Structure 1
Amino acid sequence: MIFFKYFLLVAILVFSIPAIGQTTYPKITGYFGILHPIVTVSPDGTNINFRDYYALGFPTGINIWKSPKIGFSFEIVPNIRAENGISKVNSLLFHPGVLVALGNGYTFAGRAAFETSGRYGITPVFNKTIIKNTNSSYYIAIPLPVRFGNDHPTTFTVGFQFGIAF
């Protein structure tokens, strides 16, 4: 009986310790970034950030990688807008989605979008890790939000995001 207990203990230890250099899944990572919407297009016209106003967001999130190829992400983005000498938090975005590793440091994030301003939609994001360190990495991303609702016309935006993941 004691042999069985030791055998079970050794088996649990062997199978619960990852191989050297191997990542275990699920793998959890966090990140923080700065988002600059560049241009927004709608039936009402085209709005360019930095021209009549300045808008930026601070995406902060957690990624849960189920495997090296697929994962889930939850992101919260406070959006700030400065216009006519006044700045304020314009909305808070809740941004859950699926992650797909495309290889060579590229990742696709397909996100649902729910803004406290009453808008909703989808945001495909194309992400590239540009510097990878032992404990962190730096990335750039191109988010392409499409928004509906709140008695406003549909909008399509192209943005630029950069940040750090850890």
Structure 2
Amino acid sequence: MIILTLVTTGFVSVAPAQTSLPAYPKVTGYVGIIHPIVTFSKDGTHTNFDGAYVGGLPTGINIWKSSGIGFSFEVVPFIRAADGTSKMNNLLFHPGLLLSLGHGFVLASRAAFETSGRYGVTPVLNKTIIKKKDYSYYIALPVPARFGNNQPAAIGVGFQFGIAF
């Protein structure tokens, strides 16, 4: 009787419908193609396609802690083609922090460890350009800074595109 009285007098409120919010942590993956464009060092400027072509195939896993921050681990084998032959000449291990900037932009602040003996950092600005229900296409601008292995410090710019799922 007390419950009926409370319901009819409005003291018990009806729970609102639940909205589906993304569950975190959220795991996503991606694959892409990276084209280094230019590298600057004290030895001069080197552009891709200048005597050889180098391209990479980044593959990674992102673990989003929330909608604003996450962790990413990327592995990138680089292929070098020159004089009619090609070979894998470097493997890059690329862990980093992800920061959502809104409007489809993400800043990845990556550490870089290469099998060539080089190391450094790579800030990467990513932009989702097409978003579908189960996947999205992205473009990215990596700016690698590399040191070590008895070579001069270098900074470069590249172009990356791919699909995330």
TM bracket (short chain): 0.7 to 0.9
Q: Distance in 2 between matches of 1:107 and 1:153?
A: 30
Partner residue, 2:5: none
Residue 65 of structure 1: how far off its partner (Å)? 0.1
Instruction: Give the structure 1 partner of residue 121 of structure 2.
Output: 122
Q: May I ask how many residue pairs the two structures share in their alignment? A: 148
The CA distance in 2 between the partners of 1:114 and 1:135, in whole Å, is 31
Normalising by structure 2, we get a TM-score of 0.88
Runs of 4+ in 1 over 6 A off after TM superposition: none
The gaps in structure 2 that reach 5 residues or longer are 1-17
What is the letter of the counterpart of residue 30 of structure 1?
G
Q: CA deviation at 1:86?
A: 2.1
Give the TM-score, by structure 1 length: 0.87
| 3-state SS of 2:91 partner | strand
Counterpart of 2:64 in structure 1 is: 65
- In the other structure, the counterpart of 2:11 is none
Provide the residue aligned with 1:138 in structure 2.
137
Structure 1 or 2: more helix by fraction: 1
Structure of larger gyration radius: 2
Which structure 1 segments of 5+ residues have no match? 1-18
> Which amino acid in structure 2 is aligned with residue 79 of structure 1?
F
What per-residue deviation string (whole Å, max 9, x for no partner) do you get for residues 19-62 of structure 1? 54421000000000000000011100111102211000000000
Q: In the aligned structure 1, how far is the partner of 2:77 from the partner of 2:99?
A: 24
Equivalent position SS for 1:150:
coil
Q: Distance in 2 between matches of 1:47 and 1:73?
A: 29
Q: State the superposition RMSD in angstroms.
A: 0.8
CA distance in 1, matches of 2:19, 2:73: 29
Matched, 1:44 2:74: no
1:85 lines up with 2:74 in the alignment? no
